[in-house]
């Protein structure tokens, strides 16, 4: 049997990686110089690297390992499915039991009125599906001019041509000729950074009403849909002020546009309910899913579609699909993952026990002199770093400098806590225990101390 070696010395693994592996969202040359950390195994919330160090993964991989690492049941189900039916497609009048069972389960768990699923292997692909689906929907309804999709700056919807265009990351738009035509962006509800003198409540309304103004500017007859994450994840765990979503929902109700809730991160328990739409009382027409659907054990994503949209799309041939749409192994693993989440009461525990515990501990980090605000819902949270809390000041240094310095301290302290600009973010496996939460907070505090000391030493402790 071909073995993947993890017994080579770390330096050799790093050299091979630098020679042959191109990393996503990375500067290859910098990585080659610093050397990557090679992860060799994981269990629960803990990673092990090639030096035998144990690292607390407070990001659940990339926001996805909701049931934690090392679940035997998922390995068993994958092996069994590979033996029984490793692959078959669903394009030409065929189906298979894993995709049938998973679809029925998702219809049961999804918000009311969403009962059909179109599959992909990732969130990016699912949002590409959504882009084509909402435009096809309106064309089939005899309104082909309704083409434009409104999104938000600093949203993340993937990095393919379509989904990267839907997203509002300027760094992505800058490479490869994005965004494609027909996509418009409005501002994000990030009160800490952009709220100025408005109260959070006033600011939430102002940002929501940008959607109304944008629809009016473009003409309702030209707008197909609004897409948004219930809580922006990759944008820095931006939790909108309480006034924001009710107003957005009012606007979507009053205007004839579809609403796509991108739940790639918020789905499957992350916010303490099965979907962020349930936590925030959103009424989506389409829900994008991926990540926690399989806890990352298999690549799978999809779009859960409302009865109304499914009926319109279902009346025509939708010329769209991927070789791995509804992949049997991925579906079988996802179904078992949902069973674990449900039967072990993991989502309920996040809502009622460990989530509130984490919230209390995480919010106590605002006692740290560098932390201006702590925002958290369920098991996704962020800290705003600032040299001056009362002024909500940004650092004078280029955005992300202090965040990066702090992140480096976290990693050195065996804690995966990431930074987005000068916000520190967490999204741990949903199975994290109280004791592990204590360890997380402990390591975070130490790293914040060291990050602050490093910023001061580098002469960067100044407001913009």
394: Cβ–Cβ under 8 A, 6 or more apart, which residues? 193, 386, 422, 463, 464
Q: Which residue stretch of 107-115, 117-125, 169-177, 444-452 sits at the interface with ligand PXG (rule: CB under 6 A)?
A: 117-125
Which of 123/429 has CB closer to ligand PXG? Answer: 123
Regarding 225 and contact with ligand PXG (CB under 6 A), the answer is no
Q: Tell me the C-alpha distance between 324 and 348, whole Å.
A: 32
- Binding segment toward ligand PXG, per CB under 6 A, in 87-95, 104-112, 259-267, 349-357: 259-267
Q: Find the largest Cα–Cα distance for the chain.
A: 66
- Going 163 to 39 to 291 to 327, the CA torsion angle's sign is positive
302 forms beta bridges with 119, 289
Which residues from 148-187 bind ligand PXG, rule CB under 6 A? Answer: 156-158
Evaluate whether 146 touches 138 at the Cβ level (below 8 Å): yes
Instruction: From 376, 372, 375, select the one nearest 403 (Cα to Cα).
Output: 372
Q: Is 124 in the site for ligand PXG (CB under 6 A)?
A: yes
Q: Residue 309: what are its φ and ψ, rounded to 5°?
A: -65, -40
From the CB of 408, what's the least distance to ligand PXG, in Å? 16
| Pattern 269-308, ligand PXG, x by CB under 6 A | ---------------------x----------x-------
Question: Rounded to the nearest whole angstrom, what is the least distance from the CB of residue 124 to ligand PXG in the complex?
Answer: 3
Beta carbon nearer to ligand PXG, 146 or 157? 157
* For ligand PXG, the closer CB: 44 or 301: 301
Q: Is 195 in the site for ligand PXG (CB under 6 A)?
A: no
Size of the site for ligand PXG (CB under 6 A): 16
Q: How far is the CB of 94 from ligand PXG (least distance, A)?
A: 26
Choice between 96 and 157, CB closer to ligand PXG: 157
| Interface pick for ligand PXG out of 117, 131, 234, 260 (rule CB under 6 A) | 234
Q: Give one DSSP letter per residue of 56-122, joined into a string.
A: EETTHHHHT-TT-B--HHHHHHHHHHHHH-S---SSSS---HHHHHHHHHHHHHSSTTEEEEEEESS
Residue 440 in contact with residue 46, Cβ under 8 Å?
no
Among 50, 103, 122, 273, binds ligand PXG (CB under 6 A): 122
The secondary structure of residue 25, as a DSSP letter, is T
Cβ distance to ligand PXG smaller for residue 101 or 169: 169
362: nearest Cα among 286, 441, 421, 294: 441
Which tokens hold the place of 150?
């409104």
**Interface with ligand PXG includes 57 (CB under 6 A)?**
no
Q: Which span (93-101, 191-199, 229-237, 397-405) binds ligand PXG, by CB under 6 A?
A: 229-237
The Cα 109–Cα 96 span in angstroms is: 21
- Of the candidates 68, 98, 111, 233, which one interacts with ligand PXG according to CB under 6 A? 233
Interface residue with ligand PXG among 57, 128, 206, 229 (CB under 6 A) is 229
**CA atoms within 13 Å, Cβ hemisphere of 10:** 13
Edge-to-edge order in the sheet of strand 380-385: 371-377, 380-385, 423-426, 418-420
Residue 264 sits in the site that holds ligand PXG (CB under 6 A):
yes
Instruction: Please say which residue, 230 or 272, places its beta carbon nearer to ligand PXG.
Output: 230
CA–CA gap between residue 129 and residue 125 (Å, rounded): 6
Task: For ligand PXG, give the closer residue by CB, 409 or 419.
Answer: 419
Q: Smaller CB distance to ligand PXG: residue 67 or 264?
A: 264
Residues near ligand PXG (CB under 6 A) are 62, 122-124, 127, 156-158, 229, 233-234, 262, 264-265, 290, 301
């Amino acid at each position: 049997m071909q073995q993947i070696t993890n017994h080579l010395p770390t330096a050799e693994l790093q050299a091979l990686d630098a020679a042959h592996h191109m990393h996503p969202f990375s500067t290859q040359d910098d990585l080659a110089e610093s050397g990557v950390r090679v992860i060799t195994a994981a269990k629960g919330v803990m990673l092990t690297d090639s030096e035998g160090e144990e690292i607390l993964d407070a990001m659940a991989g990339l926001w996805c390992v909701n049931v934690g690492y090392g679940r035997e049941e998922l390995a068993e189900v994958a092996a069994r499915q590979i033996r029984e039916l490793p692959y078959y497609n669903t394009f030409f009048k065929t189906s298979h039991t894993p995709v049938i069972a998973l679809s029925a389960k998702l219809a049961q768990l999804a918000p009311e009125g969403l009962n059909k699923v179109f599959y992909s292997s990732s969130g990016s692909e699912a949002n590409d599906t959504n882009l084509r689906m909402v435009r096809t929907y309106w064309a089939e309804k005899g309104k082909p001019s309704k083409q434009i999709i409104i999104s938000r700056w600093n949203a993340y919807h993937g990095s393919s041509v379509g989904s990267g265009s839907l997203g509002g990351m300027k760094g992505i738009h800058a490479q490869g000729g994005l965004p494609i035509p027909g996509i418009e962006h409005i501002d994000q509800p990030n009160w800490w950074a952009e709220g100025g003198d408005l109260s959070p409540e006033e600011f939430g309304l102002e940002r929501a009403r940008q959607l109304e103004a944008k629809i009016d500017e473009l003409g309702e007859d030209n707008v197909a849909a609004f897409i948004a994450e219930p809580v922006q994840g990759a944008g820095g765990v931006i939790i909108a002020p309480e006034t924001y979503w009710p107003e957005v929902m009012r606007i979507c109700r009053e205007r004839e546009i579809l609403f796509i809730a991108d739940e790639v991160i918020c789905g499957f328990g992350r916010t303490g309910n099965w979907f962020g739409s349930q936590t925030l009382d959103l009424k989506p027409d389409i829900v994008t899913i991926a990540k926690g659907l399989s806890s990352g054990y298999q690549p799978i994503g999809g779009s859960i579609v409302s009865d109304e949209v499914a009926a319109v799309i279902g009346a025509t041939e939708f010329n769209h699909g991927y070789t791995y749409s509804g992949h049997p192994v991925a579906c079988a693993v996802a179904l078992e993952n949902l069973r674990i989440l449900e039967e072990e009461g993991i989502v309920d525990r996040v809502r009622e026990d460990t989530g509130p515990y984490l919230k209390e501990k995480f919010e106590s980090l605002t006692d740290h002199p560098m932390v201006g605000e702590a925002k958290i819902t369920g098991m996704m949270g962020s800290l705003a770093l600032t040299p001056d809390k009362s002024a909500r000041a940004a650092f004078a240094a280029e955005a992300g400098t202090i965040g990066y310095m702090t992140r480096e301290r976290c990693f050195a302290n065996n804690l995966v806590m990431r930074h987005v600009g000068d916000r520190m973010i967490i999204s741990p496996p949903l199975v994290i225990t109280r004791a592990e939460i204590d360890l997380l907070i402990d390591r975070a505090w130490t790293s914040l101390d060291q990050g602050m000391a490093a910023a001061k030493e580098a002469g960067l402790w100044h407001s913009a």
